[in-house]
């Protein structure tokens, strides 16, 4: 694979003719794809580690990581090998039968978590949909038939299905899809007392992200989840943790709930679990999982042998203590360097994060920074108009962090000088 080198301070993109591969592919994309994304003018062709290359041969340092999906980098050799081997053996058989990779991955997830049982699906939204259904069914069967409400948090993001977009505490994702489903209430994130005050005889569960990802990498106060766990115990409620973005090592622990020394009743996973292939999972304790019986919920492609083989390869690497220690070290280094940059320029208002899920709030439009970075060979992501999020591969090297910071600092200092 050919990777081009470009000056850190210079422009990465070549002058393109109207006949460039990028232009022609984008034209076809505009013709055939629904406009559900405001895509950047890049057509990516291949990748390795933390680098991606477009159809015109331009290389980019990737700090978006497929939006926290490619935790082992692009085309990790062990994931690729697992997919190749499985593709030659068995692609799909449906859940009418058992398959070996599915059983192996379920065992790995149970062995390394609080859970006793696993349900596989295809995405984070589907995992959360399953969690909502399981929580309601359990509450009606084991608590009271009137219980169905779920308390979630403002600023949360739980998916794009009608149920999960209703659970999501951001109006921008709900607009145009009304009427939303009944049974969801929202309270400020990080405020355990607000949760307690919102509980009614109809409350079935609390649904939270340990750290809000799409909400801008919002980290709650220390002790928050422990307090919520106690509230759930006292009121007979289920605690559902959405670890779609924080799970599988993203925070430097295999699961973010470990930082608080508590366990949920239900947990959802996706993103990093497949290392780049689509897979979701809902995990639960045995007593809660028992409310799902044959026919009560299903997924045709869930636990597909191909994606589970990839998941096994991912888990065998991500669950290793040495791997997680490295994530914590790299995350601490990134946070430290961003804090140093904050002291050098007034355009950074705040730096926050845990492990390798990090964000900075800016005084200027984040999109302006993203576009300038892309011109210099760096891919960045925003969660709001003035918030940049960094979710690179968990295998990111320190030299790559330094390179990203060199590009970012030059952009921010240039912008800061221009505003002065």
Identify the active-site residue in 119, 157, 189, 323.
157
List the beta bridge partners of residue 152. 186
Q: Say whether 46 is catalytic.
A: no
Is the preceding omega at residue 179 within 30 degrees of 0, hence cis? yes
Q: What are phi and psi of 2, to 5 degrees?
A: -95, 125
* Cβ-contact 300, 120 below 8 angstroms: no
Half-sphere exposure of 117 (CA within 13 A, CB side): 15
Rounded to whole angstroms, how far apart are CA atoms 292 and 281? 14
78 class by beta-carbon count within 10 Å (0-12 exposed, 13-18 middle, 19+ buried):
middle
Rounded to whole angstroms, how far apart are CA atoms 264 and 51? 36
Q: Say whether 271 is catalytic.
A: yes
DSSP state, 380?
-
What is the number of residues in the chain?
420
Instruction: Name residue, tokens 């022609």.
Output: 24
Identify the active-site residue in 119, 120, 184, 271.
271
Pick from 49, 67, 204, 184: nearest CA to 124 = 67
E strand residue ranges, 256-310 = 266-269, 280-284
The alpha carbon of 30 is separated from its chain's Cα centroid by a whole number of angstroms, namely 27
DSSP notation for 174-238: HTTSPSPPSSEEEE-TT-HHHHHHH--TTEEEEEE-SSBTTTTSBPPPTTHHHHHHHHHHHHT-E
Rounded to whole angstroms, how far apart are CA atoms 262 and 228? 10
Rounded to 5°, the CA angle 323-327-332 comes to 150
50 class by beta-carbon count within 10 Å (0-12 exposed, 13-18 middle, 19+ buried):
buried
Pick from 408, 401, 407: nearest CA to 50 = 401
Q: Say whether 119 is catalytic.
A: no
b/e burial code for range 32-45 (CB count within 10 A of at least 16 → b): eeeeeeeeeebbee
Residues forming the active site = 157, 242, 271
């Amino acid at each position: 694979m050919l990777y081009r080198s470009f000056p850190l301070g210079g422009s990465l993109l070549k002058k393109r003719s109207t006949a460039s591969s990028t232009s022609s592919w984008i034209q076809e994309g505009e013709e055939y794809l629904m406009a559900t994304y405001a895509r950047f003018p890049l057509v990516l062709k291949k990748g390795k580690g933390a680098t991606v290359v477009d159809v015109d041969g331009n290389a980019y340092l990737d700090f978006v990581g497929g939006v926290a999906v490619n935790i082992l980098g692009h085309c990790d050799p062990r994931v690729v090998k697992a997919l190749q081997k499985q593709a030659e053996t068995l692609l799909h058989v449906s859940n009418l039968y058992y398959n070996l990779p599915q059983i192996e991955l379920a065992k790995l997830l149970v062995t390394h978590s609080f859970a006793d049982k696993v349900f596989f699906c295809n995405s984070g939204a589907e995992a959360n949909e399953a969690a909502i259904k399981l929580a309601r069914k359990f509450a009606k069967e084991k608590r009271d038939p009137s219980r169905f409400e779920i308390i979630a948090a403002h600023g949360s993001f739980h998916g794009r299905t009608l149920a999960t977009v209703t659970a999501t505490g951001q109006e921008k994702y709900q607009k145009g899809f009304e009427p939303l489903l009944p049974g969801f209430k929202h309270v400020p994130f990080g405020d355990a007392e607000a949760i307690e005050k919102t509980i009614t005889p109809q409350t079935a569960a609390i649904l939270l992200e340990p750290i809000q990802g799409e909400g801008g990498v919002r980290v709650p106060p220390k002790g928050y989840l422990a307090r919520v766990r106690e509230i759930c115990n006292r009121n007979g409620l289920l605690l559902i943790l959405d670890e779609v973005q924080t799970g599988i090592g993203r925070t430097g622990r295999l699961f973010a709930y470990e930082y608080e020394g508590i366990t949920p009743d239900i947990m959802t996973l996706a993103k990093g679990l497949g290392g780049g292939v689509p897979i979701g999972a809902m995990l639960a304790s045995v007593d809660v999982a028992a409310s799902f019986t044959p026919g009560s919920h299903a997924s045709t492609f869930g636990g597909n042998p191909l994606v589970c083989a990839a998941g096994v390869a991912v888990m065998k690497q991500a669950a290793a203590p040495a791997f997680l220690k490295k994530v914590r070290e790299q995350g601490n280094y990134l946070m430290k360097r961003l804090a140093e940059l904050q002291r050098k320029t007034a355009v950074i208002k705040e730096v926050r994060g845990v492990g390798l899920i990090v964000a900075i709030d800016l005084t200027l439009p984040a999109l302006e920074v993203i576009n300038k970075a892309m011109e210099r060979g760096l891919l960045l992501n925003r969660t709001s108009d003035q918030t940049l999020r960094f979710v690179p591969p968990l295998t990111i090297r320190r030299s790559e962090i330094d390179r990203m910071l060199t590009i970012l600092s030059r952009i921010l200092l240039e912008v800061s000088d221009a505003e002065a």
